[in-house]
Amino acid sequence: MTVEYVPGQPQSQPQTTIAGHGDRPLLTVTDLSVTFTRRGRAPVHAVDDVSFQIRAGEHVGLVGESGSGKSVTSLAIMGLLPRGGVEVAGSVDFDGQELIGLDTATMRNLRGQELAMVFQDPMTSLNPVITVGRQITEVLKRHRDLDKADARTEAVDLLTKVGIPDPARRVGDYPHQLSGGMRQRVLIAIALACQPRLLIADEPTTALDVTIQAQILELLRELVSGSQTALLMITHDLGVVAGLCDRVHVMYSGRIVESAERRQLFARPRHPYTGGLMASIPRLDQPRGVPLTPIPGSPTDTLPWSQGCAFAPRCPNSEVDCRMHTPALEPADNRALRCFHPLTTDPRSVGATHA
């Protein structure tokens, strides 16, 4: 049996962990597995032995295509998975406290205060019948014990911080009176209201217009950088991670397939799937008209991990052994990698014949 490498610690730093101090990770996810079991249907292993760590103030990216298990991972950390029909195994340690199986009352105290989350769709994530002001103040009252007047003042401040013009008037608005970008700003204000130690952003820009996407990303970067708030950025777009994250974990079909420090990863992607994702990022240094090369096939063309490498049906490097043995996540080349035949050339250079 292979001892799996636990990603999350930069390889360049010696791992001197003297109990409890400074460098101890804020969040340690170990062998997290989430299985959906529906009566009459085969169980779905949405998340499969996922491990990673996040330190205070660190920005970590979790990247993968649709269905790779990113949201389920984040919901498991937040304790927001549906109560029935799901099995969660492994451990999520948040600053010394085990979150898996934690009693609901304690979990509710942590959520919104220590752990916060911004979701994908701002159009549906705000309650349509309550003013946005109230939706901010209710979290302030719940966790920070502010009275009505103070909570309102604070709500206006928060709206200012997230760049909403005329915040004193906007607190009285209902969600339908705001644009999608504005609503996402409100949701970010809500998430940051109690200065959480961990912010999970699950594809916070996917549902927005391209121009707005950049603004929201910039806002998130501004708000978290320099603060002690750690960020787990979930996205299917490596481009989002490029300017924002210190470490990146690439997920495929419920498992991490490559984890590395951002610079290492972008300098030299090793996993064919990472390579594929990278080749599909639009690049400024390429002349317009050079077609992006998407990964062939769809995320549904997978092999169960138990039968080999899940990416084999779509992988340009796949060989016979890929369909017979399951690759393990192992340390290699300043990173953790789950692949028998990693890339040796940069996939982005293929076909790029510009001057």
Partner 1 sequence: MLRFAVRRIGLMVPTLIGLSLLLFFWVRILPGDPARSLLGQRATPEGIERLNELYGFDQPIWKQYVTYVSALARGDFGQSIDLHEPVLDAFIDKLPTTIEVTFVALLLAVAVGIPLGYYAGRHQGGWLDTAIVSTSLLGVVTPVFFLAILLKYVFADQLGLLPTQGRQDARIDVDHPTNFYVLDGLITGEYAAAWDALQHLILPGLALGTIPLAIVVRITRASVSDVVHEDYVRTAEAKGLYAGTINRRHILRNALLPVVTTIGLQLGLLLSGAVLTETVFALDGIGNYLYDAITVRDYPVLQGFILFIALMYSIINLLVDLSYGLIDPRVRVS
Ligand X SMILES: Nc1ncnc2c1ncn2[C@@H]1O[C@H](COP(=O)(O)OP(=O)(O)OP(=O)(O)O)[C@@H](O)[C@H]1O
Contacts with ligand SF4 by CB under 6 A lie at 272, 309, 311-312, 315, 317-318, 322, 327, 339-341
Asked if 302 is part of the footprint of ligand X (rule: CB under 6 A), the reply reads no
Residue ranges in 37-56 that form contacts with ligand X under rule CB under 6 A = 44, 46
What sign does the CA torsion over 11, 12, 15, 18 have?
negative
Q: For ligand X, which is the closer residue by CB, 234 or 322?
A: 234
Residue ranges in 81-100 that form contacts with ligand X under rule CB under 6 A = 82
Least separation in angstroms between residue 69's CB and Mg ion is: 9
Least separation in angstroms between residue 125's CB and partner 1 is: 4
Asked if 79 is part of the footprint of ligand X (rule: CB under 6 A), the reply reads no
**Distant-in-sequence, close-in-space partners of 177: CB < 8 Å, separation ≥ 6:** none
Q: 315 touches which of ligand SF4, Mg ion, ligand X, none (CB within 5 to 8 A by kind)?
A: ligand SF4
Asked if 235 is part of the footprint of Mg ion (rule: CB under 5 A), the reply reads no
Tally of helices (H runs) and strands (E runs) in the chain: 10, 12
Least separation in angstroms between residue 75's CB and Mg ion is: 9
Residue ranges in 160-189 that form contacts with partner 1 under rule CB under 8 A = 174, 176, 187
Asked if 66 is part of the footprint of ligand X (rule: CB under 6 A), the reply reads yes
Residue 137 CA neighbour count, 13 Å, CB half? 18
| CA 70 to chain CA mean position, Å | 6
Q: Which of 9, 1, 8, 12 is nearest to 32 (CA)?
A: 8
Residue ranges in 92-121 that form contacts with partner 1 under rule CB under 8 A = 107-113, 116-117, 119, 121
Q: How many angstroms separate the CA atoms of 95 and 20, rounded? A: 9
Q: For ligand X, which is the closer residue by CB, 80 or 290?
A: 80
From 137-145, 227-235, 253-261, 306-314, give the range in contact with partner 1 by CB under 8 A.
Answer: 137-145
Least separation in angstroms between residue 271's CB and ligand SF4 is: 6
Q: For ligand X, which is the closer residue by CB, 171 or 295?
A: 295
Q: Where are the beta strands (DSSP E) in 56-133?
A: 59-63, 86-94, 97-98, 115-118
Q: Is 142 helix (H, G, I), strand (E, B) or coil?
A: helix
Least separation in angstroms between residue 140's CB and partner 1 is: 10
Convert residues 38-77 into a mask of x (bound to partner 1 by CB under 8 A) and - (unbound).
Answer: ----------------------------------------
**Is the CB of residue 60 less than 8 Å from the CB of residue 54?**
yes
Q: For partner 1, which is the closer residue by CB, 138 or 346?
A: 138
What sign does the CA torsion over 133, 164, 117, 302 have?
positive
Q: 292 touches which of partner 1, ligand X, Mg ion, none (CB within 5 to 8 A by kind)?
A: none
Least separation in angstroms between residue 158's CB and ligand X is: 27
Q: How many angstroms separate the CA atoms of 209 and 181, rounded? A: 8
| CA 314 to chain CA mean position, Å | 24
Q: 129 touches which of ligand X, partner 1, Mg ion, none (CB within 5 to 8 A by kind)?
A: partner 1
Residue 303 CA neighbour count, 13 Å, CB half? 18
Structural tokens at position 3: 């001892």
Q: Which of 199, 196, 267 is nearest to 232 (CA)?
A: 199
From 62-70, 95-103, 261-269, 333-341, give the range in contact with ligand X by CB under 6 A.
Answer: 62-70
| DSSP secondary structure string for all residues of 143-205 | HH---HHHHHHHHHHHHHHTT-SSHHHHTT--GGGS-HHHHHHHHHHHHHTT--SEEEEESTT
Amino acid (1-letter code) at residue 317? N
Query: What does the binding site for ligand X look like in residue numbers (CB under 6 A)?
Result: 36, 44, 46, 64, 66-72, 82, 236
Query: What does the binding site for partner 1 look like in residue numbers (CB under 8 A)?
Result: 78, 80, 107-113, 116-117, 119, 121, 124-130, 138-139, 142-143, 174, 176, 187, 190-191
Query: What does the binding site for Mg ion look like in residue numbers (CB under 5 A)?
Result: 71
